């Protein structure tokens, strides 16, 4: 794993709490592996219930996707609209998952307020603008499906969308007011502070090397210089899952996604780009996400189809895209460029797996893990307190390793060429 590169978030997030590697043998109720938003939210919700918790993080809090993403807080999945989820999972499980998604962004902002986390949180909504007139029927359908389930939602026409986003590119939009954006690394650091403040023992530079079940039914997790014995185990490693649970790693398709920011936009331009300060990702399959940070930088991202010389090719590629959507930005040069791994699945749905008796993981957020991962933290704490795994909001499935999983990641990126064709044809 490489260190988080020169990211905007690393340059602007307040520091995490001081932590160190594990140097002893500990006993606790629940051991959590991974200090991203899923693991830290799990730890907070466990501590709030009075359940003892140790978190082991191989690198640093927010090292994985949680500190590298674009910070969009989105209460939906990229694929899997409400009716489709109900058709796939059945009425009870499908509606449970839909309600969970609907409420996930509110849970994030509520947790931020509860622990007064300084992370540039803005809950002005998430917009999904239609990149072609033919996609208006999709957002109208989504609007109908979500409002039927009591979600707060608005449908905007082209003029309202232009006023909201500061671009004429789009033809209308679905707007979900519970969404928004944050500085994701600042959020991860803030969650770490909150967890430690509640008595969670968080160890960093503490990779879990092996998992064993002891004769007493507990889990023994070894790190290079210490170990934890716990009644229950939560693995929260998502796209950064390694050899610890090899079958799990092989069940994911991992793609590299780039994030970038401009320099702070000058006054005038700053107000005209995303004037309502919402978060936005459009209806393209190869979607174009946009948001601003507090200093007025435009933050966006992309995955390159051909996984060669990506560091060199990403700048001109994204600068051109920014110009297509926001031609009013005069200086499109990028101040920060960084990347991270996204865990995808062929059906593009996240899930939970029981890794063994008393051991669980929530995984494969398909690029939407900020709200869903944090909300899963609350659900995983419920599980540790006794809720059966098949009552959790995400479907419980067997782990199914994919043939040639690592090559599939490269193929998934190349498949973007096809998606772009479809986006143009829509």
Ligand X SMILES: Cc1cc2nc3c(=O)[nH]c(=O)nc-3n(C[C@H](O)[C@H](O)[C@H](O)COP(=O)(O)OP(=O)(O)OC[C@H]3O[C@@H](n4cnc5c(N)ncnc54)[C@H](O)[C@@H]3O)c2cc1C
Give the footprint of ligand X on this chain (CB under 6 A): 33-39, 56-59, 63-66, 68-72, 74, 207-208, 236-240, 242, 244, 257, 259, 301, 340-342, 365, 367-371, 373
Nearer to ligand X, 36 or 296 (CB): 36
| Closest CA relative to residue 280, chosen from 165, 119, 133, 171 | 165
Contact 261, 273 (CB under 8 A): no
| Closest CA relative to residue 136, chosen from 282, 332, 313 | 282
Cα 358 to chain centroid, rounded: 25
Q: For the CB of residue 33, give the shortest distance to ligand X in the complex, in Å.
A: 5
Nearer to ligand X, 369 or 409 (CB): 369
Three-class DSSP category at 90: coil
CB atoms within 10 A of CB 386: 7
Cβ contacts of 23 within 8 Å, gap of 6 or more: 225, 226
Nearer to ligand X, 63 or 383 (CB): 63
Nearer to ligand X, 82 or 180 (CB): 180
Look-up: residue for tokens 């239609």? 130
Nearer to ligand X, 329 or 371 (CB): 371
Q: Is the C-alpha dihedral spanning 208, 382, 147, 137 positive or negative?
A: positive
Q: For the CB of residue 293, give the shortest distance to ligand X in the complex, in Å.
A: 13
Q: For the CB of residue 258, give the shortest distance to ligand X in the complex, in Å.
A: 7
Q: For the CB of residue 158, give the shortest distance to ligand X in the complex, in Å.
A: 25
Q: For the CB of residue 330, give the shortest distance to ligand X in the complex, in Å.
A: 26
Q: For the CB of residue 226, give the shortest distance to ligand X in the complex, in Å.
A: 13
Contact 256, 239 (CB under 8 A): no
Nearer to ligand X, 136 or 236 (CB): 236
Cβ contacts of 395 within 8 Å, gap of 6 or more: 89, 93, 97, 349, 351, 352
Q: Is the C-alpha dihedral spanning 417, 173, 9, 64 positive or negative?
A: negative
Q: For the CB of residue 31, give the shortest distance to ligand X in the complex, in Å.
A: 10
Cβ contacts of 308 within 8 Å, gap of 6 or more: none
* Residue, CB closest to ligand X: 369
Q: For the CB of residue 237, give the shortest distance to ligand X in the complex, in Å.
A: 4
CB atoms within 10 A of CB 142: 21
CB atoms within 10 A of CB 415: 15
The two tokens of residue 188 are 């991860």
Nearer to ligand X, 162 or 300 (CB): 300
Nearer to ligand X, 139 or 249 (CB): 249
Cα–Cα distance measured from residue 29 to residue 254, given in angstroms and rounded to the nearest whole number:
32
């Amino acid at each position: 794993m490489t260190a988080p590169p020169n990211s905007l978030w690393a340059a602007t997030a307040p520091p995490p709490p001081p932590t160190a590697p594990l140097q002893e043998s500990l006993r606790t109720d629940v051991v959590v592996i991974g200090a991203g938003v899923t693991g830290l939210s799990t730890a907070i919700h466990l501590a709030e219930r009075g359940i003892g918790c140790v978190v082991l993080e191989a690198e640093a809090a927010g090292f994985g996707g949680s500190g590298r993403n674009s910070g969009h807080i989105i209460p939906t999945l990229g694929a899997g609209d409400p009716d489709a989820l109900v058709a796939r999972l059945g009425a009870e499980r499908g509606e449970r998952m839909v309600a969970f998604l609907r409420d996930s962004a509110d849970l994030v902002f509520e947790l931020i307020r509860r622990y007064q986390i300084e992370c540039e949180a803005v809950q002005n909504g998430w917009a999904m603008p239609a990149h072609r007139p033919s996609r208006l029927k999709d957002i109208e359908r989504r609007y109908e499906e979500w409002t039927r389930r009591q979600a707060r939602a608005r449908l905007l026409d082209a003029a309202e969308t232009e006023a909201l986003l500061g671009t004429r590119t789009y033809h209308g939009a679905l707007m979900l007011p519970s969404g928004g954006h944050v500085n994701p690394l600042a959020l991860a650091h803030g969650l770490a502070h909150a967890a430690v403040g509640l008595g969670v023992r968080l160890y960093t530079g503490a990779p879990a090397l092996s998992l064993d079940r002891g004769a007493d039914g507990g889990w023994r997790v070894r790190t290079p210089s210490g170990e934890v014995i716990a009644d229950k185990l939560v693995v929260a490693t998502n796209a950064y899952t390694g050899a610890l649970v090899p079958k799990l790693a092989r069940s994911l398709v991992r793609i590299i996604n780039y994030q970038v920011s401009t320099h702070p936009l000058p006054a005038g331009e700053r107000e005209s780009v995303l004037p309502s300060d919402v978060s936005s990702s459009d209806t393209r399959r190869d979607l174009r996400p946009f948001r601003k940070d507090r200093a007025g930088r435009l933050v966006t991202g992309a995955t390159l189809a051909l996984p060669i010389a990506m560091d060199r090719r990403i700048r001109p590629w994204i600068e051109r895209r920014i110009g297509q959507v926001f031609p009013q930005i005069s200086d499109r040069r990028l101040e920060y460029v960084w990347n991270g791994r996204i865990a995808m699945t062929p059906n593009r749905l996240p899930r939970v797996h029981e890794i063994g008796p008393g051991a669980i993981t929530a995984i494969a957020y398909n690029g939407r893990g900020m709200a869903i991962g944090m909300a899963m933290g609350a659900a995983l704490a419920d599980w540790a307190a006794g809720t059966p795994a098949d009552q959790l909001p995400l479907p419980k499935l067997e782990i199914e390793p994919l043939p040639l999983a690592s090559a599939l990641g490269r193929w998934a990126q190349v498949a973007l060429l096809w998606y772009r064709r479809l986006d143009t044809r829509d």
